[in-house]
Each structure stands twice: as C-alpha cells, then as structure tokens.
Chain A
Amino acid sequence: MARSNSKALKRHLTEEEVALYAEALTRSVASDLPINILHHVDQCVKCKGTIIETFSLIDEGSFSTFDLPNQANGTRPSREHTFSIVYRAAAVILVGISLGSLVYVFESSQQDIHPPHIFEPQLKDATTQKEKIISPNASASDRSDIEHSFAYSPTLENLVNSVARSPMIKIISPKNGSNVDRSIKFIWQSTQKGPYTIKILSNREKTIYNATSLNSQWTFNEKLEPGLYYWKLENKEDLLFVGKFFVK
C-alpha cells in the first residue's frame, strides 16, 4: 500500500506489497503500480529478489511442477489439466457471455446505485450524526471541532451526488453515508480493468490514505478520528466512484 506521493519508499516492501507486485507481474500490469513502489524496487536488489521468488512461487508453471506426497489419490496432476485449444475457446466464449450479462445487469441497476435525489436525505443523515456525537456537556470548542469534522465538503459532495462516471461500477460496501467502525470493507463490482486505487479523504479534501488493489475489494484496518470522510475509487484511466462515510 502506498501512503504517500514521495518518489520512492524509504523502506523495503511489506509482505502484501511484495504479493501485489508479484501478482501484477503475472498479469503484466506492473507498470500500473504506485510510482513510489516502482521507484523503490527499481533501486532495491533485495526487494527485486523477494518479488521474483514470489512470482516464481505463484507462477502457474511452477506450482504444477511439484508433486504432493499426501494427495488424496496419490497421483500427481496430469497434463490433461492443461487447457486444450478447445477448452480455451470455450472459456473465452463463457467469459464473453458473463461480461455481457454483467454489463446488462449494471446498466439496468444504474439508477439504484446513484439515485439522483440523494442529496436531501444525506443532509438529514449528517445532522443525526452530529446529534449523536455531541454530548450536552461538551464544551463550546469541542462542539466546534466536532462540527468541523462533520462539515460537508461542497466539492466532494457534488462528486458524490453526481451521476456515475461509469455505469460499469457497483459499490457493495460501504453504503453511501453509512456509519463505520474500525475495519472498513470497501467492496465493489466492476467490469473496468484494475488495478484500482482507493483514496480516503478528509472532509477538508485532504487525502489521508492511498492504497492500490488488484482485486475488487480492500479492507482498511486503521483508526480514523470521528468525522465525515469521502472515498474515491479510481483505475488508471478514470475516476470510477466517489462515496462518503461517517466514523463515530
């Protein structure tokens, strides 16, 4: 995960960053990784070695190379597991049909994803948030801080309420304007190609976290101060979604 925009990381890659890079190599999308990770690896022989060994472990050819002593049937996987041309063609057709269906479903459910009249209910929701947070005994300055933390960002609010830029995205979690605790699961369905960048922004439009995911989900496990937060989902080409959530 890249959390800064500096040119290169000042540390070695974490285990998950190594996994991310190795997977990106298998998918030939390494150039889409965050620039600070790319810069670090470019200069770091140790991280290069770790990535290549991981790549070697997950590379399909390598995994099928070794027999297992305790396999149920006691035999190693046969070459029949290798896809024949016919199987590949069938798989391509199936994937095509699935993608077509997915596009159809997304297009038909687009109205559900971004209802055009969402602005008013969300304002009410925010008022409720402030009422829950501010206790009657809070000092005037506490009240002011909390109110600032929950204040809307007009720019981001417009993006949240704008029509989706891509009809190919469906957000599963978190629900727009929902309350979240620790461990926020960001889950979406998209026909757009990854890797995806997830940005969490404060209500003052400052990017607090910036992560990259090859999958259509990411879990945020760290603590956020109470307040209103926005999040953006992007891929290399486009801003796919802007949402918001509250931390109590």
Chain B
Amino acid sequence: MIKEKISSQEIIDLVASKASVSKRAAEEFLKVMIASIEEGLLAGESVKIKSFGTFKLQWNEPRKSVNIQTREEILIVGYYKVVFVPDSTLKEQVNEPFAHLEPVELDSDPTKTELVEETDPITDPRRLFNEQAIEIKNLISEIQSLSKKTVPLIQEEVPVVELLNNEIKQIPDTKVENIEVESVNEIDEAKKDQENRIEENETDTEPATVTVANDSETIPEEKIEVPNLTAETINHANLKDDSTLKKDDKPVRPDFISNPNYISTPAGLVEEEGEENKEKTSENKEPQLISELASTPYLENIKPLKKHKIRKWVLLILFLTIGSGAGLFIYFAATGDNSVTNITQHLSISEIANTISEWITPAPKPTPKPVKVVIPKDTTVFATVKPVQPVDSVQLLFDNPRVYKEFIASERIQEGSRLTIMSKRYFKSKDFWVYIYEANKEKISNPDEIAIGTLIRIPKLDPRLIDTTNPRCLLKARELHDIYVN
C-alpha cells in the first residue's frame, strides 16, 4: 500500500495556516520542538506530548548475525531505539474505522455447564426420589407424634414442609383431588382417557366420605358402594409397598370402571368443575380462587371445624396448579395416579372399618403417598417464581415502545460511517446504536448496509435509557441488537 507521505514542509504550512502564524515561525517552532524532544531523549528521559503520545528509549541488546553473502559471523552492537507509544486519544482517533469491532469468544463454555445442570435432576430422578422419600418418612413420624394438636393459621411465609405437615393432618381429601387434577394436565393426551376415569372415581368417593361426616341420609348409598370396593381394596391392601405401586395401578382401573356405582354424583361434578376453573385462573389470582372455592358446594359440606383451613387449601392448590403449569412432571404423574388410587383404596377400607367419628382424624397411612408427589412440585414452584423481575420505571421504559420526536443532531452517511460509531459519539456507548436505528427505521432497510448520503437523525433519548453505568441498559440494547441484526 502506497501511502501519501507528508514532508516536514507540508506540516509547517498546515501548522502556520491553522495557528495563523508565519511559516517561518512555524518552521522554527517545529525545529525547536524536535530538538527539545531529542534533548529529552538524549538525557535518557521519556518525553510525553499531551494527547499525542510518549517517546521512550529502548535498548536493543547486541546480537550475533550471519552475513548472507560471506557467511561470516558478525556482531550487531547494541543500540538505543526511540519507541513511540501513542496516547489513548490518538489511538482511538486512528482506529475509528474499526472502533465498532469487538473481540468475539468462539468457545463459550457457560452454556454447556448450564445445560448439564438442568438435565441432571431429570436424568437421575431415582436419586431425587429417594431423598424425598426419606424426607417424607421423617415428616410422617413427626405428624404422628403431633397428630392431635391444633394448628395455627398458616401465613404465606410458612415454609413448605410445615405447610405440608398441616395439610397432611387435616385434609387428605383435597390432596387427592389436587394430585389427580395435575396428573390430568401433565399426562399425554393418549393417557387422558384413563386419567379421566380415575378422576371420576375420585370425585365420587370424596363427596361420599365427606357426607358421611355430615348427613346420615347418604349412609345407605355409601354402604352400597362398600361391598363393591372391598373386593379390590382388600387385594390391594396387601400391596402397599412403594415398589409394587405401579403394578397395583392397572388392575384397579378396570374394577373401578366396571363398577356401576361409580357414576358421578352432582356434588362430585361441581367439585370437579371448581377444580378445573381454579386451574385456569391459577395464575396468581388468589382472591378469585378463594371466592370460587367458597362457592362450591363441596366446601359447604365440610364441617365448620375445617372451615378456617380453607386458606391453607387455597395456598396448596395454588402451588400445585402453578407447579403443574411448569409441565416438568410427566415422570411424577405416573407415581401421582398410583398414590391417588391407593388413597381411594385406603379410604374405602377405612369406610368399612371405622365409624363416622373417626373420620375427623383421618388415618395417617394414606397421607404419605400424596406428599411424595406434592413435594417436588412445590420446590419447583419456588424455583420458577423467583426470577420474576421487579417492575420499575426503567423496566417500563424498556417495555414501552419508544417514540422519537426530538432530535439532537443529524448526520449524512459517508464512506465508512457506522451507526455504532455515531452511537459511541453521541451516547458514549456503541451498544445504543439500536435506538438510532429505531429512530431512522423508515430510511434504513439493512442496518449493516446504509446507502451513502442517507441523512440519519440522532434522537434525543431518556438519559435513564442510555445509562452506560447501568448494566440493564446495556443488556436491553444488546437484546435489541440481536433482534435487528438477525
């Protein structure tokens, strides 16, 4: 590349015209300047010129070399060399055509590690399950020791475990429902029919059990059910172990279906509907949930003793439905309906065995299985709820579409002009080029190739939007960058 070389004389002329001094004075000045620099260097100092650079001396060690023609070894003596280190301002000025470029990392490992972390619990659900099983065992033993104490009203701050303890003591019935609703959501459409059957069964048995406590009239109806149930439930009573749960499941279903007594009662239907509605509105609409729940006849049937626990139920239902939304629990769904069927078995057994009064304190055995399903869901609910960002004025600024009415400057595109360079000049960071682009969108078809001569207007931006010290501003700009570039 042949570059135009500017001689001392041309520099002198330029300086003379710019500083409006005579050429002689400029020439003299330049000579003196160089002489002074040399003087400084000869004194062994480094010479610094503001906004230009620093001249330094560097000692080059003597070294041996070979004469190419004669192959004689020669010694190159050590010498001093003047090194010029450009000042940062000069560096930036000179490098302006390439200022928009940034180093690019080609191997980005962080994403890989993230993926591994995500898949880990999924690939190893057995281990997770075992851990939870141990936890649950401990819980059960605690529950049994505390069974007849009254439980204070639960606040939202109450840890999950405690909440669950309370739930287990008082409301095994609702839990059955929740789980079943979830499992319906999660399981593939292919499985849906089966699930629905189970659901029907569940909803049937529950109102029955509730009414046992309240109305003496429904008792005969129940008694009809009981003999039908006994046959299967006794069979399954022998197979309570976790390991055999899955095997239990399949024989149960046909029995239930074939059973003529399992046609949904009105109470059951309403209840089911209520549950489904709750699911739909489960997205953080707690008050609505409560009202819906209260309106269902199901709750009216519940003893006054239980009424003050509605709040807790709602909380639990909320957690569970949100958890089901996450859609991660196809795995757990299988175990979920196992537990569901198991509970119904236990319920029916206890129907036969126990008197009405015993229903107030439910048997501890049915409780452990629902808990198993509940716990993983709750934990994930907490995980998913956390990353919600607080909405503040800056966020609003990001979310609202930007309107560009005021402009601080305008520039015509030239050879080598770039929006990033303009952004750097006007907004202190090249990341904010996206806003210039947004303001001139109608003139620019492709931000990478803007026609020369295009008049670009630089918009006036909210200083909060282009705060270079705020990482969120930069992040937002980069998000937009990704949108516009790709």
Q: Do A and B come from one complex?
A: no
Chain B residues in the interface with A (C-beta under 8 A): none
